[in-house]
Amino acid sequence: MSAALEPTGAVITGGASGIGLAVAKELGARGVRLVLADLPGERLDAAVAALASAGCDAIAMGCDVADLAQVEALAEAAFAALERVDLVFNNAGVGGPRGRLWEVDPAAARAHYDINFWGVWHGCRAFAPRLIAQGSRSAIYNTGSENSLFCTMPHSAAYISAKHAVLGLTENLREDLPDHVHAGLVIPGWVHTAIGPDANMRHGMAADRFAAIIVPQMLACERFVVAHAYNTVRIHERIDSLDAAFAAHAPRYAGDDEFDVRTVVARLMAERKR
């Protein structure tokens, strides 16, 4: 775990509702100045008005995260408005096209990736170099999902694969960042948001309850930010199957790191320095 974060300014995409708005409430109550980014319109304006009525310092910025130019413009405007950005929460996302993989229109799947994967990529691309240059302690958090770790339901290949990709993106981003910029993954389980039909979503954890659990973890700069205990059961279903496969077909042996990429690269680099 890295050093704690004490943010004065935060940017939240997908901030007009659901997890984004709930996290904004938690941060705003701590005195953090907020930029809420979402598609422009009444919902975004209403979210900022509600925060203001609760005594939070928040401004609205319209942004389609699927468009890199708009995300770059968001970053420029956010730094200008807040002067210092300490926390970026790439949270915007939508529910994916449903159906068996071979029945889903590839164009619909690509459009889904434009938001749920490339939207996160754009946020990291736009904000990471600015946070690095800023030089102070800061963090980028991306919203993954329990679907980054296992499959919660069938007929959801676009959504689940995009969330798996966000996990990989975030893990690799951390490798590229300097020590003063942290990267972590928020892993929601079932949370009551508007990402799916309310008849289904209302059975999930309340967004405000979820935010109250995860914000302290974000401020503590945890690598993985979690809230749904039963997720571990599903995770271990996959891990146990992997362990069984390796035990049966690729058991450990003395010197078995001979083909481990990190081990071999580290050895080669050490040899070059001699």
At residue 73, the 3 state secondary structure works out as helix
How far is Cα 88 from Cα 84, in angstroms, rounded to an integer?
Answer: 11
Report the alpha-carbon angle 98-100-101, nearest 5: 95
Q: Which of 186, 223, 239, 37 is nearest to 123 (CA)?
A: 37
- In terms of Cβ atoms closer than 10 Å to its own Cβ (0-12, 13-18, 19+), residue 268 is exposed
How far is Cα 94 from Cα 77, in angstroms, rounded to an integer?
Answer: 24
How far is Cα 251 from Cα 257, in angstroms, rounded to an integer?
Answer: 12
φ, ψ for residue 109, nearest 5 deg: -65, -40
Q: Which residues are catalytic?
A: 159
At residue 237, the 3 state secondary structure works out as helix
Q: What is the DSSP string of 141-185?
A: EEE--GGGTS--SSSBHHHHHHHHHHHHHHHHHHHHS-TTEEEEE
Q: Which of 39, 12, 14, 5 is nearest to 28 (CA)?
A: 12
- Tokens (6 digits) for 7: 């943010």
Exposure string of 9-33, with b = 16+ CB inside 10 Å and e = fewer, is bbbbbbbbbbbbbbbbbbbbeeebb
Do the Cβ atoms of 141 and 185 come closer than 8 Å?
yes
